[in-house]
Structure 1
Amino acid sequence: MIKKLLQRVFKPSQKSASSKKVASSIIARIPASTHRINRSLISKAAIKTTEGLQKAGFEAFIVGGAVRDLLLKKRPKDFDVATNATPEQVNRIFRRSRIIGRRFRLVHVMFGDETIEVSTFRGHHLSEEGDAKVADSGRILRDNVFGSQEEDAVRRDFTANALYYDPASEDVLDFHEGVSDIQAGILRMIGDPETRYREDPVRMLRAVRLSAKLGLKLDPATERPISELADLLHDVPPSRLFDEMLKLFLSGHALESVNALRQHGLQHGLLPLLDVVLEQPLGERFVTLALKNTDDRVLAEKPVSPSFLFATLLWHEVLLAWKQYEKQGNKAIPALYMAMDEVSDIQAEKMAINKRYSATMREIWSLQPRFENRAGKRPYSLLENPRYRAAYDFLLLRCESGELPAELGQWWTDFANADGEKRQSMLQPDTTPRKRRRRRTKKPAAATAPESGE
């Protein structure tokens, strides 16, 4: 106790101590004249965040994927900042900010519609100081442990992500030869890959996603343990798996990523139905078309609906279950709802899809039978449904894959674009048996009470 007290009293300031460590461990300090990062691609909010922290006397750098993307001449989607300021200190500096997170506390700093995520330099999770917890499998459950910039660089997953950019000096600080790995087209894990995957199994998904997205080849040592450790994903909270899978599917390289997932046996812990679907010729064509369509929209910077995407990935299992329930004697619509429940329950055991997406996903599925009814007033009411557009796009995908005749999709395209008279002429004869109306029997008139005086 006395020793620790003396260490605290005579410990050098956080800033000076970390500066000495950084100076002795940086492999390379790369100036702007060498790295040639285009400052116009950097978020003004990220620059304001680093400036605010530096003016308050702290170190602050743009870190991770943003620096990696800037070196690859790509515009980053998100900007993260790392600092030696604690979350409470960051929160006091920026009026519009909030502390979030349990596993590791972070600060979200808001500038208009943009949010910059600020993290304090992280220390080793096995350190005596700080709040950390590790499962028997080696997975880190909680690691609120602060440290130096050198320790923070060691804690990052890949060398390409252990890069720090200082907007003030415009230097890039490289601790693990990340720049040379990027130039060589290699994605390499920092430290022993098996240990790092056990600490956080989601890193296996990240390796597959980044390799496909950035066109970087996985280093052999980084790739080797993935297939053997795939089962570790079963212990990861479903919400984390969903977030990582969403990033994978919206990377613009979903098709390549799904193939890589299957190659490494990772899909079993995420989309257990995907293998079954891809073994069916129609299912494989349907999913391939859906993923390609998603990639095209992402790369064209068009909006993409996660609900639509997951609806396509699970549709052919819904279709199979739907037919089975119909064979058991259930009517079409109840059978469809039973199939949707079954598939959703199986999927939720592995990777729970966020409720706001699953609700829309089920609406898209439930509208599909209505497209086959082209008589009477039903087509008009379907056009007015809030989910019509998503369900219509889903129908076109079904037609393009060969599941339904192309004529059905064309009819709905023409019907939606036609005027009133043309629409009326396109309707098919209504052969649905009409329900007989029940005749109302008149109730006998109630006897009127005699007026007073009679």
Structure 2
Amino acid sequence: MQPELHDQTPVPVLRVISRDGHNVSRRDISPNALRVLYRLREAGFGAFLVGGAVRDLLIGGNPKDFDIATDATPEQVRGLFRNCRLIGRRFRLAHVVFGREIIEVATFRANTDNGSGERETHEDGRVLRDNVYGSIEEDAVRRDFTANALYYAIEDFSVRDFVGGFEDVQNRLMRLIGDPETRYREDPVRMLRAVRLAAKLDFEIEAATAEPLVRLAPLLSESAPARLFEECLKLFLSGHAEASFIGLERFGLLGALFPETAAALRSNRSGALRRMVLEGLRGTDSRVANDEPVSPAFLFALLLWPAYCRALMALQAGGMQPVEAQRRAADQVTLHQLSTVALPRRFSLPMQEIWLLQPRFSLRQRKRVFRLLSHPRFRAAFDFLVLRQAASNEHAADVEFWREAQLHPTETVAAHEQEHPDGETGEDGAPRRRRRRRRSNAKPAAE
């Protein structure tokens, strides 16, 4: 059962699930995590596998990260492991490094301020610093979701539950520990985390946990844009992009992350742009599932394409020439998005190139074809063109031409020239006559 609340903080009630009551096995735990657990226990400290690893093992998943909670301080952990480094100011942590694997070790945190100055909160409730250490019971109630507050003990192979997380995992529920509004105000990014974990685990967000999301979505503007960029990568590059996007829409968070995209999707009555975005996110999920690379530049080109289309239409409606409007729209959308999500230039510039190459797929003059085929961003831009067919089938001829041009460039161009002997085709695919050059009477300059 869920413990009763007192002053908005749950009262921890220990429930021990013995080995025969759960499916967590040491065989499924990282050997390096087990080394850390046993070393801490041998040194006289309490140590538990905690959080997402326990949650994922309970539902039959394969955790990528194995975190440990202990009553040893970070300095004491470092004293036990030569391969340990301490990180963080907001949350002081110990990282025990085994080659490419890092086992994160956190000291039990208290949920109160002891006056030491190691816990700081902003006047709006955001936690700025939290290094007041406490007991395992205190640590459990200060975690975010009940499903993440489960502790696996190696001494008796039991799972320790203080806040009803075991039952919530069985029922596939994401439930915040404590008062939801208070917890979201402490850290607004928890709203994104709720959506992301629900999408990843195929959990439902519990009603009281979901209720404040639409109302508190504007709080995300107070989060650091660099942190929101990292959260976007977790949302959309972890194999659950489509479900995450739908969750953001459902709970009113899409507009807080991508305000211009959300506005463009609302104004697109046909739903074509949304279909394209969802199709692209499904493709991203498929690539992640197949261990294929996914470019953040392509991802953001997809997510911001509705905003770009809307900005481009507005600029052209104002009389701006197409080429200038395309560049202006790309710069405008990128600049506005940076105030919310800090998209690095190494991703924003290729993103813009993907957009700006789209009109060139309708230009099939010999030199233009070979120039575009040799462009370093050609493949990404072509994949994007293919994706645009989810919104409109008008690009089918272009897709077919460029698919053939990649395989047989010379023959494809020659066939096109025979079909359109009077000239190249314009951006609308219609034949366009070549302009005759006037002969100049001026003598050539001397070499």
> When the two structures are superposed, what TM-score results if normalisation uses the length of structure 2?
0.84
For residues 34-63 of structure 1, the C-alpha deviation after alignment (integer angstroms, 9 at most, x for no partner) is 212244432333223333433444333221
Question: Which of 365, 368, 379 is matched with 1:375 structurally?
Answer: 365
Structure 2 CA distance for partners of 1:322 and 1:96, relative to 1, 3 Å: farther
Counterpart amino acid of 2:187?
D
1:157 and 2:161 matched:
no
Question: Which of 404, 407, 416 is matched with 1:414 structurally?
Answer: 404
Counterpart mapping for 1:185-196 below 5 A = 185-196=172-183
Structure 2 CA distance for partners of 1:158 and 1:344, relative to 1, 3 Å: same
Deviation at 1:413, TM superposition (A): 1.4
Aligned to 2:294, the other structure's residue is in SS state coil
2:20 and 2:434 map into 1 onto residues whose CA distance is 75
1:168 and 1:370 map into 2 onto residues whose CA distance is 65
> What is residue 239 of structure 2 aligned with on the other side?
252
Are the counterparts in 2 of residues 69 and 75 from structure 1 also a CA contact under 8 Å? yes
| Identical pairs, percent | 47
Structure 2 CA distance for partners of 1:49 and 1:327, relative to 1, 3 Å: same
Structure 2 CA distance for partners of 1:27 and 1:351, relative to 1, 3 Å: same
Structure 2 CA distance for partners of 1:416 and 1:194, relative to 1, 3 Å: same
Are the counterparts in 2 of residues 26 and 173 from structure 1 also a CA contact under 8 Å? no
Deviation at 1:123, TM superposition (A): 1.6
> What is residue 393 of structure 1 aligned with on the other side?
383
Deviation at 1:70, TM superposition (A): 0.5
> What is residue 132 of structure 1 aligned with on the other side?
119
Are the counterparts in 2 of residues 130 and 146 from structure 1 also a CA contact under 8 Å? no
Are the counterparts in 1 of residues 91 and 131 from structure 2 also a CA contact under 8 Å? yes
1:244 and 1:340 map into 2 onto residues whose CA distance is 23
Counterpart amino acid of 1:81?
I
1:102 and 2:101 matched:
no
Deviation at 1:423, TM superposition (A): 4.1
1:425 and 2:419 matched:
no
Aligned to 1:400, the other structure's residue is in SS state coil
2:295 and 2:126 map into 1 onto residues whose CA distance is 32
For residues 40-98 of structure 1, the C-alpha deviation after alignment (integer angstroms, 9 at most, x for no partner) is 43233322333343344433322111110110001113222222232333334434443
Counterpart mapping for 1:2-401 below 5 A = 27-167=14-154, 169-279=156-266, 280=268, 281=270, 282-401=272-391
Are the counterparts in 1 of residues 12 and 163 from structure 2 also a CA contact under 8 Å? no
Aligned to 2:342, the other structure's residue is in SS state coil
2:360 and 2:77 map into 1 onto residues whose CA distance is 54
2:128 and 2:289 map into 1 onto residues whose CA distance is 35
Between 1:334-343 and 1:214-223, the stretch displaced more is 214-223
Between 1:66-75 and 1:243-252, the stretch displaced more is 243-252
> What is residue 448 of structure 1 aligned with on the other side?
none
Counterpart amino acid of 1:442?
A
Q: What runs of 5+ residues in structure 1 fail to find an aligned partner?
A: 1-23, 444-454
Are the counterparts in 2 of residues 252 and 299 from structure 1 also a CA contact under 8 Å? yes
Are the counterparts in 2 of residues 289 and 401 from structure 1 also a CA contact under 8 Å? no
Are the counterparts in 1 of residues 23 and 57 from structure 2 also a CA contact under 8 Å? no
1:51 and 1:368 map into 2 onto residues whose CA distance is 57
Q: What runs of 5+ residues in structure 2 fail to find an aligned partner?
A: 1-10, 418-422, 425-432
